[in-house]
Amino acid sequence: MKKMLIKGGVVVSGGEQKIIDVLVEDGKIVAIGNKLTAEDALVIDASGKYVSAGFIDLHTHGAGGADFMDGTVEAYQTALETHAKHGTTLLYPTTLSSTTESLYEAVENYKAAKQACKKGAQMGGLHLEGPYFAYEMKGAQDPKHLRNPQPEEYMGLLEQADGAIARWSLAPELDGALELAQELKKRGIVIAMGHTNATFDECEAAYQAGFTHTTHFFSCMSTITRRNARRYAGAVEYGYYNDGVTCELIGDGIHVPESLLKLTFKVKGAEGISLCTDSMRGAGMPDGIYKLGSLEEGQDVVVEEGVAKLLDRSAFAGSVATMDRVVRTVWQLTGRSLSDVVRAASETPARIMGVDKQKGTIEVGKDADIVIFDSDVNINYTIIGGEIVSQQI
């Protein structure tokens, strides 16, 4: 369908809400106004519904029983379609700490899926989560794969990726981390502090080297410690302090409780927060035992009470959230405006990844990546590039 007219919805974009029509043609938003008409257009009556830019998930490992580390186009396709049903129009497939060989395979699998997958959410590039993490902050990362950055490993990986890597999360205090950051910065790759035990001063050095984002803020992240009776601030405090650093929050209401969600929105504002799922293959699936990571090399985790955990219940193991749940939960728990929450789920992540000229808001000239949902954030339509990819009414 070349033309689409979305009528009478409450458009939530750019921090505002207003009832207005949106006209789409050839995959782009071409007009926004009152009482718009268009010949030969598919008309969607959005009266009583909200209309926003599609949700952008910067951190997801999979969904629908599939993991991006499974190594098949079919796994990618399943996860992309599952996320699209829940309002995600763009996502960044995320790896886990693993062997060098597995990382090379992940790059090749992403390239293959990028070419082959025609349904579901779009992909903006790989997010490498690890393997350069602090052992003390490993969380559900497999400790046997944690190591320091070595140029002979990461340079080869970067060359093979040939632009496929969009973001890399690592602990900045590790030997060699700042040198890696300089290389990533030259290539335009977003660098995030994650699974880190860094002090405030180490985070400042990291920022100067190019770290501008934080991976699942609070989770597996250093905070105030005492050494010889003196207090030292950590990565959490640095994230609050530096306006140039954005904070990624898992918005399932479990990884980050209500109090910390409220505090982070108060300190950083929606323009400093990127909501994400950090979902594993159990997202959109019933409770049970699932593999975190690939079916061959992953760890068994248990999904119960709305979250994934290691079998010994010692740590969370990703989430089973989807972006509609994230928006709904954060809206309910924080009491912030829907405009603020939607901004953190669309506009801010688009800016972080440098795609805000094309995506993230409802504006003329931008990609027609749009979601339409009700007052409980149940997704009625997911539209990508002007095409309906999911309809649930």
Would you list the domain boundaries of the chain? 3-51+373-391, 55-358
Ramachandran sector of residue 122 (left: φ over 0; alpha: ψ -120 to 50; beta: rest): beta
CA angle in degrees (0–180, nearest 5) for 322-326-332: 145
35, two tokens: 């009482």
Runs of H (alpha helix) within the chain: 73-85, 100-116, 151-161, 177-186, 200-209, 235-241, 258-268, 323-334, 338-345, 347-352
CA angle in degrees (0–180, nearest 5) for 247-235-157: 75
Residues belonging to the chain: 393
| pTM score | 0.96
Contact 391, 381 (CB under 8 A): yes
The SS3 of residue 149 is: coil
Please give the C-alpha separations between residue 263 and each of 146, 193, 328, 335, in angstroms, as whole numbers.
32, 20, 18, 12
CATH number of 3-51+373-391: 2.30.40.10
pLDDT truncated to tens, each residue of the chain (393 aa)?
A: 589 999 999 999 999 999 999 999 999 999 999 999 999 999 999 999 999 999 999 999 999 999 999 989 999 999 999 999 999 999 999 999 999 999 999 999 999 999 999 999 999 999 999 999 999 999 889 899 999 999 999 999 999 999 999 999 999 999 999 999 999 999 999 999 999 999 999 999 999 999 999 999 999 999 999 988 999 999 999 999 999 999 999 999 999 999 999 999 999 999 999 999 999 999 999 999 998 888 888 889 999 988 899 899 988 888 999 999 999 999 999 999 999 999 999 999 999 999 999 999 999 999 999 999 999 999 999 999 999 999 997
The SS3 of residue 203 is: helix
Q: Report how far Cα 347 is from the mean position of its chain's Cα atoms.
A: 12
Report strand pairing: 88-93 vs 122-123.
parallel
φ and ψ at residue 109, rounded to 5 degrees = -65, -40
Largest CA distance in the chain: 74
115, two tokens: 């070419």
C-alpha atoms less than 13 angstroms from C-alpha of 250 in its C-beta half-sphere: 27
310 residue type, one letter: L
Q: Per CATH, is 55-358 categorized as 3.20.20.140?
A: yes
The residues, any chain, with a CB within 8 Å of residue 381's CB and separated by 6 or more, are: 44, 370, 371, 372, 388, 390, 391, 392, 393
Q: How many helices (H) and strands (E) does the chain have?
A: 10, 24
